[in-house]
Each structure stands twice: as structure tokens, then as C-alpha cells.
Structure 1
Amino acid sequence: MSTSVLVEPVMEKSYAGVGRCKCSFWFAVAHDILGVLIMMVGVFGGLIIHDLFIYAGAIIIFLSLIWWVFWYSGNIDVPPEELEDDVGKMKLKNRRLSRVVRRVSSRLSSRIRDSLRRGDRNNSNPVNVGTEMGLSTIYNTTIQSPSREITRDTLSV
């Protein structure tokens, strides 16, 4: 017993005017206007601390760029064909490249891991465990640890 299901194509809603992210747009415009007003008070106000107002206005205008980036990135349209699931729907032309990159990455990480493991085995010296050792500083002086303190043994895995 099979039933047919009708799937209608999804049409994206077109946005007129400032786009989808109206809040980010108006925050950006408000920061720009506020920054210009504060800067103009510093330039034409005749105050003693005019440079403070000029710098504060410039900083507020600079921070409005954050809202402009939010607005712009929120209005980027991606076609539905490019919105694919990452798990099983890789494009054929990218499949070979991703296999090569994964293979190189796994080989490189296994080499690094093996070299670190070999380095730990060669550097672990059980003769020095529990003996008194000095600490060297950047001034080439040695500080001896008193024998009353607890000594820490290195753990080799």
C-alpha cells in the first residue's frame, strides 16, 4: 500500500527595503548618527575637552561597523540547491579532495602522535626518580629543593 505525497517547492520570501535584519540596520544607523553628532560637538562646540568628543564620536562610528556586518551577513541569500546536508550529500567534485585532505591529515597527526610517544619513552629516566634536582632560572642560578618537601615522581604512560 503506497501513498503519494505532493511536495510543493519552497519559495523564499523576498524582502523589500532594508532586508531581513531591520534591527541591525537601525542600530547601525543610530550609532552612525550618534557618532557624527558627538564628533560635531567636539569640532564645533568650542569646549575645552573637544578632543574627547572627537575621539568618542570616531569610536562610536567605528563600533557601528559591527552592526553593519550583522546586517550585511544576515541578508546574504543562499540558493536552496547549495544548502546541503554535510553528512551524506557531498558533491562529487569535492569528494576526492576531501578524501585526500583527510588522508594527509590522519597521516600527519599519527606521525606527530607516534613521535611524541617515542620521545616520552626515551626521555623517561627511572634512575632520577626521587633524587634531589635543582631548578634553573633565566639568571643561571640554581635553587636546591630541601629534602623535607614532598617530591613528585614523573608518570610515564
Structure 2
Amino acid sequence: MEPAYRGLGRCVCCFWLAVAFDVLGLLVLLIGVFVNVFFYDLLIYAGAIVIFLSLIWWVFWYSGNIEVLSAELEDDVGLVKKDKGALGGISVVVRRLSTRVYSGIRNSLRRNGGAQRSVAETTVAPCSKQVVVTLATLTPSERTLQTCASSVEWNDAAMPPTATETFPT
């Protein structure tokens, strides 16, 4: 059985923090307005900011005290009504079945590392052309320009050589 909350509700700490921020912000704001100091504008802005920050605590207090009946939660969080009659039992069975099927598929995909590809997807189509690219390996100690040549097997046109420069890291 839930305890009955009276007065300030469940989030008493948030309420008192909001009140403290409001009082402190108002105090700093009024000091900036009525006291003759050279940094009055800083006090006015700081008071306004503290009052604005108190809105966070007010929102926490308000949202923490929202009462939602369990009957209203049934559709949102998946709670099942106990007295639905014959159709209620069918929906429970369907929900359990779909959960088992979904978790079985998900677990099998995790074990196999993803969906299995068919043979048609893994073979190369007969009309595709293969591109061969040759690259040179460089060591960090080399500071010379290296050229990379690229050629296309199905087309005899060779690409012009390009130069790459490496810097020691």
C-alpha cells in the first residue's frame, strides 16, 4: 500500500529548493535595484538568472507529483488488464507468442553475426568488371615521394600516376 502524501506531495526537496531559489533570486534582484552600488546591473541580472533557474526545481516538483492511475498506464507501458474476459486471454497468448518469436530471431542474428547472405548475393555477377589497384607500402622513416599506379583490367586505359608524400608522425 502506498503512503498517502499530503500537502507538498512526494518531492518535498524539489519544492523547498524552488522556494529557496526564488527567495534568493528576488533578494539579489531587489538589492541590485534599490541599493546604490556600482555593480547593480550584475546583481539585477544574477537575480533574474537565479529566479529563472528556480523554474527547473518547480518543473521537477510538479512532474514528480503527477498522479497516474494504473488503469491509464495499461496501454502505455504494456500492463495487461486482468478482467478482460475471453478476448483478454487471446491477446495475452498472442503477445507472449510474438515476444518469443521476436526474441528468437534477435538471438539467432546475434549468434550468427547478422543475417546469412544467399549464394546469389555473394557471387560476382557476370557483367561486373574487376578493378585492380596497386599500392606501395611506406615506412615512417621514408621521406621520399612515392607513386601509386592504378590500372583498370577491363579497359586498357591506365590512370596517370599520382604522388603521395608522407611525413613522420
2:66 alignment partner in structure 1: 76
Q: What RMSD over aligned residues (CA atoms) do the two structures have, in Å?
A: 3.9
Q: Which has the larger radius of gyration?
A: 2
**In the alignment, is residue 61 of structure 1 matched against residue 51 of structure 2?**
yes
- Structure 1 stretches of 5 or more lacking a match? 1-9, 93-121, 134-143, 150-157
Shift of 1:18: 1.4
The residue type equivalent to 2:10 in the other structure is R
Match among 10, 32, 37 for residue 20 of structure 1: 10
Of structures 1 and 2, the one scoring higher in RCO (CA 8 A, sep 6+) is: 1
1:32-71 counterparts in 2 under 5 A? 32-71=22-61
Structure 2 CA distance for partners of 1:147 and 1:70, relative to 1, 3 Å: closer
> Take 2:166 and 2:6, find their aligned partners in 1: how far apart are those partners?
79
Q: Give the TM-score, by structure 2 length.
A: 0.48
Identity score, percent? 49
| Equivalent in 140, 145, 152 of residue 164 of structure 2 | 145
Amino acid at match of 1:145: T
- Following TM superposition, by how much is the alpha carbon of 1:14 offset from its aligned partner in structure 2, in angstroms? 3.4
Alpha-carbon distance between aligned partners in 1 of 2:131 and 2:14, rounded to the nearest angstrom:
61
Distance 1:127 1:32, change over 3 A: same
Cα contact 1:39–1:58 (8 A) shared by 2: yes
Give TM-score scaled by structure 1 length.
0.51
| CA shift in 2, pair 1:128/1:29, >3 Å | farther
Deviates more, 1:19-28 or 1:74-83: 74-83
> Per-residue deviation at 1:88?
7.2
CA distance in 2, matches of 1:129, 1:41: 73
- Hey, what does 1:127 align to over in structure 2? 133
